[in-house]
Amino acid sequence: MAKIMIQGTASSVGKSILVAALCRIFKQDGYSVCPYKSQNMSLNSYITLDGKEMGRAQVLQAYAAGLEPQVYMNPILLKPTTDKKCQVIVKGKVHCNSSAVEYHNMKLEFRDMLKKDFQDLEKKFDIIVMEGAGSPAEINLRDRDIVNMGMAELVDAPVLLVGDIDKGGVFASLAGTMLLLSDDEKARMKGTIINKFRGDVNILKPGLDMIEKIIQISCLGVVPYFKLALEDEDGAVEFNRKINNKIDIAVIKLPHISNFTDLDALKIEEDVSLRFITSNEEFKNPDMLIIPGSKNTIEDLMYLRNSGLEDTIKNYAGTGIVLGICGGYQMLGNMIKDPYGVETSLGEIEAMKLLDVNTAFEKEKTTTRVEAEFKESSRVYGYEIHMGVSTYGEGTQPLFEIISKNGEKVSYYDGAVNDKGNIMGTYIHGIFDGAAFREYIVNKLRRKKGLEERNSKIYENLREKELDKLADIVRQSIDIENIYKIMRLK
């Protein structure tokens, strides 16, 4: 069994997408390959077929490897709830809520679990492509590290160091990272990759020669800057703020926004402009407004109220189309109750009263994969991740009927829609990934604007084509044969 680890000089240098590229390249070359990130910090999560929660970055990497996403690819997920606290999810289930200091002190408790589980993975796959987090040069965290050099040492993995040249200072960041590593860690570093390069590589070559002499490590390639219809790393996401197509869909960029990957599939609609807004000045007059998921629904509702956006949303809801997803759905209701202090010390808070539903937070988190039916027996699929349970009043109808939960046949309602049909909410994440609901919503907007209706593309097919394009770009840019030698495969 072979392994390789991708670490970066900083967050958002492209580690996740390069791991996905290597997974697809190795798969194309006939190997069974698995992505792995021991610890991920992200508010973008996903529910596996067996109802467990993991980071979205490893989901894309799993697809690149031709695998169904499983939590062994991301055994520890940290979901920040405030600047100093997070929810700790271990092997897909909530382990605890912890302060930063508390989690730092408990990390070593996971080392034996990570080592054993990784050794089990080694028996199942030809290659494991590992991903670090942030930078290995975070010297204040080194003694308890379980995701960068600490993890590489735990399983004896060779490491490649990635630097982002697009932001400038790539040579200094490579040299500075190496300077802060121990001699053993430097010996583990087998090569560098320059990412997000724009221009002529020949102009870059003198710098590559110099940095190789300085850090005594070979550069294995320069990957060009590219744009593909694939999910970005959390910190690398560009929240578009411009209207550049005929249909304008505005999304409230909440302070604790989560699962904004729910909206990625809308970007493949050629006449749709998806923009993120944070103020009344940016609101304008969109064709549709989406209030996305939140890791702290009550605080984000208070943000909307204090900023004046809540009043703007209420005025817009008189004639506009509004969709709330998960936390956004809860905000559209009458009341949100938090009797156990799941999110805040507030016992309850009045919501926007745009949908006749009431929500109460419970102690246990709901994590399920679901399939549902809506108008004309069309199907929608996705997953639920929430602590709240919502109940209907008289002025609201269910939006979906859930017909499958974690692979078992069921029958219950999800979401809500008002009598006019212009205010909707749902707990289902990923509802736009399937073509049916996306086509239904976007054609509704097209009809309202007098535009011709269109058939929506199948997102999964596009994703596969984009992953192959990604593999082609990276294969042509790096010394893949040398990487095989580093892994002792060729």
DSSP states along 111-148: HHHHHHHHHHHHTT-SEEEEE--S-TT-TTTGGG-SSS
Place of tokens 């062994």: 72
**Residue 462 φ/ψ, nearest 5 degrees:** -65, -40
Q: Which residues form the catalytic set?
A: 326, 429
**Residue 290 φ/ψ, nearest 5 degrees:** -120, 130
Q: For residue 453, how many C-alpha atoms fall within 13 Å in the half-sphere facing its CB?
A: 9
Q: Is the dihedral angle over the CA atoms 340, 342, 429, 35 positive or is it negative?
A: negative
Place of tokens 């919503």: 441
Write b or e for each residue in 230-258: b if 16 or more Cβ atoms lie within 10 A of its Cβ, otherwise e: bbbbbebbeeeeebeeebbbbbbbbebbb
Tell me the C-alpha distance between 336 and 323, whole Å. Answer: 18
Are 127 and 121 a contacting pair, CB within 8 Å? no
Tell me the C-alpha distance between 71 and 49, whole Å. Answer: 10
* Residue whose C-alpha is closest to residue 134's, from 169, 175, 173, 101: 173
Tell me the C-alpha distance between 370 and 407, whole Å. Answer: 8
Q: For residue 116, how many C-alpha atoms fall within 13 Å in the half-sphere facing its CB?
A: 5
User: If residue 249 lies in a helix (H) or strand (E), which one and from where to where?
Assistant: strand 247-252
Alpha-carbon radius of gyration of the chain: 23
* Residue whose C-alpha is closest to residue 174's, from 156, 186, 184: 186
**Residue 78 φ/ψ, nearest 5 degrees:** -105, 125
Tell me, what DSSP letter sits at residue 312? H
Please state at what angle helix 309-316 crosses helix 297-307, rounded to 10 degrees: 90
Tell me the one-letter amino acid at 389: V
- Residues whose CB falls within 8 Å of the CB of residue 64, separated by 6 or more in sequence, listed in order: 20, 21, 23, 24, 27, 35, 467, 470, 471
* First CA to last CA distance, the chain: 13
Tell me the one-letter amino acid at 133: A
Tell me the C-alpha distance between 268 and 285, whole Å. Answer: 22
